[in-house]
Protein backbone atom coordinates (compact mmCIF):
# COMPACT_ATOMS: atom_id res chain seq x y z
CA UNK A 1 0.00 0.00 0.00
CA UNK A 2 1.39 3.43 -0.95
CA UNK A 3 2.11 5.85 1.84
CA UNK A 4 -0.40 8.62 2.42
CA UNK A 5 0.88 11.95 1.15
CA UNK A 6 0.81 14.91 3.53
CA UNK A 7 0.35 18.63 2.82
CA UNK A 8 0.71 21.50 5.30
CA UNK A 9 -0.69 24.94 4.41
CA UNK A 10 0.62 27.70 6.71
CA UNK A 11 -1.48 30.86 6.98
CA UNK A 12 -1.49 34.03 9.04
CA UNK A 13 -5.12 34.36 10.11
CA UNK A 14 -8.38 32.40 10.04
CA UNK A 15 -9.98 33.05 6.61
CA UNK A 16 -6.63 33.17 4.76
CA UNK A 17 -6.83 29.42 4.18
CA UNK A 18 -10.19 29.85 2.45
CA UNK A 19 -9.19 32.72 0.17
CA UNK A 20 -5.81 31.35 -0.92
CA UNK A 21 -5.57 27.90 -2.48
CA UNK A 22 -8.59 26.46 -0.66
CA UNK A 23 -9.97 24.52 -3.61
CA UNK A 24 -6.59 22.82 -4.00
CA UNK A 25 -6.77 21.69 -0.37
CA UNK A 26 -10.26 20.27 -0.91
CA UNK A 27 -9.13 18.49 -4.07
CA UNK A 28 -6.20 16.82 -2.33
CA UNK A 29 -8.37 15.78 0.62
CA UNK A 30 -10.72 14.06 -1.83
CA UNK A 31 -7.73 12.35 -3.44
CA UNK A 32 -6.67 10.89 -0.10
CA UNK A 33 -3.97 13.37 0.92
CA UNK A 34 -3.67 14.19 4.63
CA UNK A 35 -4.03 18.00 4.71
CA UNK A 36 -3.26 20.20 7.71
CA UNK A 37 -4.00 23.95 7.80
CA UNK A 38 -1.98 25.98 10.29
CA UNK A 39 -3.23 29.37 11.49
CA UNK A 40 -0.35 31.30 13.03
CA UNK A 41 -2.65 33.75 14.84
CA UNK A 42 -6.25 33.85 15.97
CA UNK A 43 -7.12 37.01 14.06
CA UNK A 44 -7.82 38.76 17.35
CA UNK A 45 -7.15 42.26 16.03
CA UNK A 46 -9.20 41.87 12.89
CA UNK A 47 -12.28 43.97 12.27
CA UNK A 48 -15.74 42.84 11.22
CA UNK A 49 -15.39 43.24 7.45
CA UNK A 50 -18.81 41.94 6.43
CA UNK A 51 -21.00 45.08 6.30
CA UNK A 52 -24.07 43.00 7.12
CA UNK A 53 -22.63 42.17 10.55
CA UNK A 54 -20.97 45.46 11.42
CA UNK A 55 -22.45 46.99 14.55
CA UNK A 56 -24.04 43.72 15.65
CA UNK A 57 -23.36 43.56 19.42
CA UNK A 58 -23.53 39.75 19.42
CA UNK A 59 -20.76 39.64 16.85
CA UNK A 60 -18.56 42.27 18.46
CA UNK A 61 -18.93 40.89 21.99
CA UNK A 62 -16.37 38.14 21.49
CA UNK A 63 -14.96 38.33 17.98
CA UNK A 64 -11.92 36.11 18.69
CA UNK A 65 -14.11 33.22 19.85
CA UNK A 66 -16.44 33.70 16.91
CA UNK A 67 -13.51 33.56 14.53
CA UNK A 68 -12.44 30.25 16.09
CA UNK A 69 -15.89 28.83 15.39
CA UNK A 70 -15.80 30.15 11.84
CA UNK A 71 -12.42 28.49 11.32
CA UNK A 72 -13.80 25.16 12.54
CA UNK A 73 -16.68 25.44 10.06
CA UNK A 74 -14.30 26.32 7.21
CA UNK A 75 -12.04 23.37 8.03
CA UNK A 76 -15.06 21.07 8.00
CA UNK A 77 -16.14 22.45 4.61
CA UNK A 78 -12.72 21.74 3.12
CA UNK A 79 -12.27 18.44 4.95
CA UNK A 80 -8.89 19.46 6.36
CA UNK A 81 -7.30 19.14 9.77
CA UNK A 82 -6.53 22.40 11.55
CA UNK A 83 -4.01 23.63 14.12
CA UNK A 84 -3.70 26.98 15.92
CA UNK A 85 -0.04 27.94 16.28
CA UNK A 86 -1.04 30.14 19.23
CA UNK A 87 0.31 33.62 18.47
CA UNK A 88 -1.60 36.89 18.79
CA UNK A 89 -2.62 38.87 15.71
CA UNK A 90 -0.37 41.89 15.08
CA UNK A 91 -3.04 44.04 13.46
CA UNK A 92 -2.39 46.13 10.35
CA UNK A 93 -0.46 49.29 11.33
CA UNK A 94 -1.74 52.45 9.69
CA UNK A 95 -0.47 56.00 9.65
CA UNK A 96 2.65 57.94 8.69
CA UNK A 97 4.90 57.14 10.37
CA UNK A 98 3.60 53.66 11.10
CA UNK A 99 3.00 52.98 14.79
CA UNK A 100 5.03 50.28 16.55
CA UNK A 101 3.66 46.74 16.59
CA UNK A 102 1.67 45.76 19.67
CA UNK A 103 3.81 44.23 22.40
CA UNK A 104 3.85 40.44 22.32
CA UNK A 105 2.20 40.10 18.90
CA UNK A 106 3.23 37.50 16.32
CA UNK A 107 5.20 39.80 14.03
CA UNK A 108 7.19 41.22 16.96
CA UNK A 109 8.49 37.82 18.10
CA UNK A 110 12.12 36.83 17.57
CA UNK A 111 12.27 34.46 14.62
CA UNK A 112 13.35 31.40 16.60
CA UNK A 113 10.58 31.94 19.17
CA UNK A 114 7.95 32.32 16.43
CA UNK A 115 9.30 29.37 14.45
CA UNK A 116 9.74 26.83 17.25
CA UNK A 117 6.12 25.66 17.45
CA UNK A 118 5.93 25.34 13.67
CA UNK A 119 9.14 23.32 13.58
CA UNK A 120 7.66 21.01 16.22
CA UNK A 121 4.45 20.69 14.21
CA UNK A 122 6.35 19.91 11.00
CA UNK A 123 8.22 17.16 12.83
CA UNK A 124 4.96 15.76 14.22
CA UNK A 125 2.87 15.95 11.03
CA UNK A 126 5.77 15.23 8.64
CA UNK A 127 4.47 16.98 5.52
CA UNK A 128 5.93 16.17 2.14
CA UNK A 129 4.80 19.58 0.85
CA UNK A 130 4.31 22.95 2.53
CA UNK A 131 2.56 26.04 1.17
CA UNK A 132 2.74 29.62 2.45
CA UNK A 133 3.27 33.22 1.23
CA UNK A 134 6.21 34.83 -0.54
CA UNK A 135 8.70 37.17 1.15
CA UNK A 136 6.33 40.12 0.65
CA UNK A 137 3.57 38.25 2.45
CA UNK A 138 1.38 38.27 -0.65
CA UNK A 139 0.50 41.73 0.64
CA UNK A 140 2.44 43.68 3.27
CA UNK A 141 0.58 42.68 6.43
CA UNK A 142 3.17 42.10 9.19
CA UNK A 143 1.61 38.74 10.08
CA UNK A 144 1.79 37.57 6.47
CA UNK A 145 5.44 38.55 6.23
CA UNK A 146 6.20 36.77 9.52
CA UNK A 147 4.27 33.73 8.31
CA UNK A 148 6.62 33.60 5.33
CA UNK A 149 9.64 33.84 7.61
CA UNK A 150 8.58 31.11 10.02
CA UNK A 151 7.49 28.81 7.18
CA UNK A 152 10.86 29.08 5.44
CA UNK A 153 12.65 28.65 8.77
CA UNK A 154 10.63 25.53 9.58
CA UNK A 155 11.10 24.09 6.08
CA UNK A 156 14.86 24.55 6.26
CA UNK A 157 15.37 23.63 9.93
CA UNK A 158 12.95 20.81 10.72
CA UNK A 159 15.24 18.19 9.19
CA UNK A 160 18.36 19.42 10.98
CA UNK A 161 18.88 17.66 14.34
CA UNK A 162 21.13 20.50 15.52
CA UNK A 163 18.33 23.06 15.13
CA UNK A 164 15.50 23.21 17.66
CA UNK A 165 16.80 20.04 19.36
CA UNK A 166 13.93 19.93 21.87
CA UNK A 167 11.22 20.04 19.20
CA UNK A 168 10.89 16.39 18.19
CA UNK A 169 12.49 13.98 15.75
CA UNK A 170 13.81 15.66 12.58
CA UNK A 171 11.75 15.59 9.40
CA UNK A 172 12.65 17.20 6.08
CA UNK A 173 9.77 18.37 3.85
CA UNK A 174 10.49 17.99 0.15
CA UNK A 175 8.82 21.01 -1.46
CA UNK A 176 7.79 24.53 -0.43
CA UNK A 177 5.36 26.62 -2.48
CA UNK A 178 4.17 30.23 -2.37
CA UNK A 179 0.55 31.02 -3.19
CA UNK A 180 0.05 33.12 -6.34
CA UNK A 181 -3.72 33.36 -6.16
CA UNK A 182 -4.11 37.07 -6.84
CA UNK A 183 -1.92 37.44 -9.90
CA UNK A 184 -2.61 40.33 -12.24
CA UNK A 185 -3.09 37.89 -15.11
CA UNK A 186 -5.81 35.98 -13.29
CA UNK A 187 -7.63 39.07 -12.07
CA UNK A 188 -7.44 40.71 -15.53
CA UNK A 189 -8.87 37.57 -17.14
CA UNK A 190 -11.84 37.58 -14.74
CA UNK A 191 -12.38 41.33 -15.22
CA UNK A 192 -12.44 41.04 -18.99
CA UNK A 193 -14.69 37.97 -18.90
CA UNK A 194 -17.26 39.80 -16.76
CA UNK A 195 -17.26 42.80 -19.09
CA UNK A 196 -17.55 40.56 -22.17
CA UNK A 197 -20.59 38.91 -20.58
CA UNK A 198 -22.22 42.32 -20.08
CA UNK A 199 -21.76 42.23 -16.32
CA UNK A 200 -20.32 44.82 -13.98
CA UNK A 201 -16.84 44.01 -12.74
CA UNK A 202 -15.78 44.84 -9.18
CA UNK A 203 -12.19 44.04 -10.15
CA UNK A 204 -11.56 47.21 -12.16
CA UNK A 205 -10.63 49.28 -9.11
CA UNK A 206 -8.32 46.51 -7.88
CA UNK A 207 -6.50 46.56 -11.22
CA UNK A 208 -6.40 50.35 -11.43
CA UNK A 209 -4.77 50.56 -8.01
CA UNK A 210 -1.92 48.46 -9.37
CA UNK A 211 -1.13 50.69 -12.34
CA UNK A 212 0.97 53.26 -10.47
CA UNK A 213 4.23 51.43 -11.09
CA UNK A 214 4.99 50.92 -7.40
CA UNK A 215 3.70 47.38 -7.20
CA UNK A 216 6.19 44.51 -7.18
CA UNK A 217 6.57 42.49 -10.39
CA UNK A 218 4.38 39.48 -11.01
CA UNK A 219 5.48 36.23 -9.41
CA UNK A 220 6.39 33.26 -11.55
CA UNK A 221 3.65 30.65 -11.71
CA UNK A 222 5.37 27.28 -11.82
CA UNK A 223 2.45 25.09 -10.80
CA UNK A 224 -1.21 25.20 -11.78
CA UNK A 225 -3.57 22.82 -9.98
CA UNK A 226 -6.90 22.26 -11.72
CA UNK A 227 -9.73 23.01 -9.27
CA UNK A 228 -12.79 22.50 -11.47
CA UNK A 229 -15.16 20.57 -9.25
CA UNK A 230 -13.84 22.02 -5.99
CA UNK A 231 -14.75 25.70 -6.30
CA UNK A 232 -18.06 25.24 -4.47
CA UNK A 233 -16.21 23.75 -1.49
CA UNK A 234 -13.90 26.76 -1.48
CA UNK A 235 -16.89 29.09 -1.51
CA UNK A 236 -18.54 27.22 1.35
CA UNK A 237 -15.36 27.64 3.38
CA UNK A 238 -15.18 31.32 2.53
CA UNK A 239 -18.77 31.89 3.60
CA UNK A 240 -18.00 30.15 6.88
CA UNK A 241 -15.92 33.22 7.77
CA UNK A 242 -19.05 35.35 7.99
CA UNK A 243 -17.43 38.18 9.95
CA UNK A 244 -14.78 38.61 7.27
CA UNK A 245 -16.46 37.75 3.98
CA UNK A 246 -19.49 39.49 2.48
CA UNK A 247 -21.57 36.76 0.77
CA UNK A 248 -22.56 39.37 -1.83
CA UNK A 249 -19.03 40.71 -2.19
CA UNK A 250 -16.48 40.57 -4.97
CA UNK A 251 -15.13 37.15 -3.99
CA UNK A 252 -18.34 35.71 -5.41
CA UNK A 253 -18.78 38.10 -8.36
CA UNK A 254 -17.34 35.66 -10.91
CA UNK A 255 -19.64 32.64 -11.34
CA UNK A 256 -17.84 29.36 -10.89
CA UNK A 257 -18.80 28.14 -14.35
CA UNK A 258 -17.10 31.25 -15.76
CA UNK A 259 -14.06 30.66 -13.58
CA UNK A 260 -13.86 27.09 -14.81
CA UNK A 261 -13.70 28.36 -18.38
CA UNK A 262 -11.47 31.40 -17.89
CA UNK A 263 -9.00 30.34 -15.19
CA UNK A 264 -9.60 26.81 -13.87
CA UNK A 265 -6.55 26.57 -11.60
CA UNK A 266 -5.07 27.55 -8.27
CA UNK A 267 -1.59 28.86 -8.93
CA UNK A 268 1.65 28.45 -6.99
CA UNK A 269 5.35 29.33 -7.19
CA UNK A 270 7.79 26.55 -6.37
CA UNK A 271 10.19 28.17 -3.90
CA UNK A 272 12.23 25.23 -2.57
CA UNK A 273 12.50 21.64 -3.77
CA UNK A 274 14.61 18.65 -2.81
CA UNK A 275 13.22 16.54 -5.64
CA UNK A 276 13.34 16.75 -9.41
CA UNK A 277 10.17 17.71 -11.24
CA UNK A 278 9.61 19.14 -14.68
CA UNK A 279 8.29 22.71 -14.78
CA UNK A 280 5.60 23.79 -15.30
CA UNK A 281 3.75 21.39 -12.98
CA UNK A 282 0.10 20.54 -12.47
CA UNK A 283 0.56 18.80 -9.11
CA UNK A 284 2.15 19.98 -5.84
CA UNK A 285 3.37 16.40 -5.36
CA UNK A 286 5.13 16.18 -8.74
CA UNK A 287 8.39 14.34 -8.19
CA UNK A 288 7.23 13.01 -4.82
CA UNK A 289 4.49 10.49 -5.54
CA UNK A 290 6.95 7.76 -6.53
CA UNK A 291 9.26 8.33 -3.58
CA UNK A 292 7.06 9.33 -0.62
CA UNK A 293 8.61 8.42 2.71
CA UNK A 294 7.18 7.23 6.01
Q: Consecutive sets of 10 residues in the chain, 294 residues long: mean pLDDT of each? A: 86 97 98 98 91 86 93 98 97 87 96 98 98 93 97 98 97 98 94 96 86 78 98 98 92 95 98 96 94 61
Domain ranges, ordered by start, for the chain: 6-182+219-253+264-273, 184-218
Q: Which helix (H) or strand (E) holds 118?
A: helix 111-125
Could you give the C-alpha distances from 131 to 179, 267, 278, in angstroms and in order?
A: 7, 11, 19
| Known binding positions for Zn(2+) | 13, 16, 144
pLDDT for the residue 264:
98
| Cα separation, 270 vs 223, whole angstroms | 7
| Cα separation, 13 vs 64, whole angstroms | 11
pLDDT for the residue 89:
96
**Predicted TM-score (pTM) of this structure:** 0.95
Q: Which residues contact 228 (CB under 8 A, 6 or more apart)?
A: 260, 264
Sheet holding 265-273, edge to edge: 81-87, 34-41, 6-11, 129-132, 175-179, 265-273, 223-226
Return the CATH fold of 6-182+219-253+264-273: Rossmann fold (3.40.50)
pLDDT for the residue 137:
92
Residue 56 CB: number of other CB atoms within 10 A?
12
| Cα separation, 126 vs 6, whole angstroms | 7
pLDDT for the residue 1:
39
| Cα separation, 270 vs 194, whole angstroms | 30
Answer yes or no: are the C-beta atoms of 5 and 125 closer than 8 Å.
no
| Known binding positions | 13, 16, 144
User: Is 76 in a helix, a strand, or coil?
Assistant: helix
- At 173, give phi and psi (nearest 5°): -65, 160
Amino acid sequence: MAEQLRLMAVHAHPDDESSKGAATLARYVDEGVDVLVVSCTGGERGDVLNPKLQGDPEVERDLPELRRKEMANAAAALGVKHHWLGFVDSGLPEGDPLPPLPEGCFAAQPLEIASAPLVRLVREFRPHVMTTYNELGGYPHPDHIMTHKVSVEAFESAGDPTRYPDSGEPWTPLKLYYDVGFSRGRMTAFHEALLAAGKESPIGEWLKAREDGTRPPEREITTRVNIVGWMDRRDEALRSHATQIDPDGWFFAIPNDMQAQVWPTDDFELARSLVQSELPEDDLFAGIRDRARV
